[in-house]
Amino acid sequence: MPVTTVDHAGSMTRRMGWRIAVGALVAELVPILALVGLVAAFGPAGQAQANAFAERLGRWVGPIGGAIMCFLGGWWVGRLRPSAGLIPGLALGTLAAGLDVTILVISAVPLEWLFLGSNVGRVIAGALGGAKAGRLNPEGSVPDGGGPETDPAH
């Protein structure tokens, strides 16, 4: 039976890795798409004015949307293994921040303190989301794997 346990653990690790990658990508894409939608819906008609509007609005949408999405993504990956939810949530937030930095470098945008704060917020939000997953499912956080199905008292 130990082979089954190892296979199950390996399968869970692979699933968690995919969830972290997909969650980080979604955490970056959703705020970008939200910004595009907001500019299309409420922005001025001219291209130059729309670009300026998007730049101003992006200072709010990017950091706030990124943190919210990292929290939700951290919760999503943390649900797979609530006893370690903080770690996968932290990994998701770190990966999302890395993606954001990569986008900023490729775009040749000058470094601003806002970007540092925004990316630190992503990391913290991901970790908090993962930790929240553990608090919402305390049965999953029992270190010995016990629970109602293995506890004779239940």
In angstroms, rounded to a whole number, what is the distance separating the alpha carbons of residues 74 and 89? 4
Cβ partners under 8 Å of residue 146, min gap 6 = none
Tell whether the model's pLDDT for residue 140 goes beyond 60: no
pLDDT tens, residue by residue, 5-19 = 444 556 667 778 899
pLDDT tens, residue by residue, 44-68 = 999 999 999 999 999 999 999 999 9
Stretch among 2-11, 33-42, 96-105, 119-128 having the lowest mean pLDDT: 2-11
Yes or no: say if 27 and 21 are a contact pair by the CB < 8 Å rule.
Answer: no
Tell whether the model's pLDDT for residue 1 goes beyond 50: no
pLDDT above 90 covers a percentage of the chain that reads 64
Yes or no: say if 74 and 92 are a contact pair by the CB < 8 Å rule.
Answer: yes
Yes or no: say if 79 and 133 are a contact pair by the CB < 8 Å rule.
Answer: yes
Confidence of residue 30 (pLDDT cuts 50, 70, 90): very high
| HEC profile of 53-100 | HHHHHHHHHHHHHHHHHHHHHHHHHHCCCHHHCHHHHHHHHHHHHHHH
- Whether this prediction's pTM lies above 0.75 is answered by yes
Tell whether the model's pLDDT for residue 145 goes beyond 60: no
| HEC profile of 17-36 | HHHHHHHHHHHHHHHHHHHH
Give first-to-last CA distance, the chain, whole Å: 25
Mean pLDDT of the chain: 83
Q: Residue 116 has what pLDDT?
A: 93
Yes or no: say if 79 and 139 are a contact pair by the CB < 8 Å rule.
Answer: no
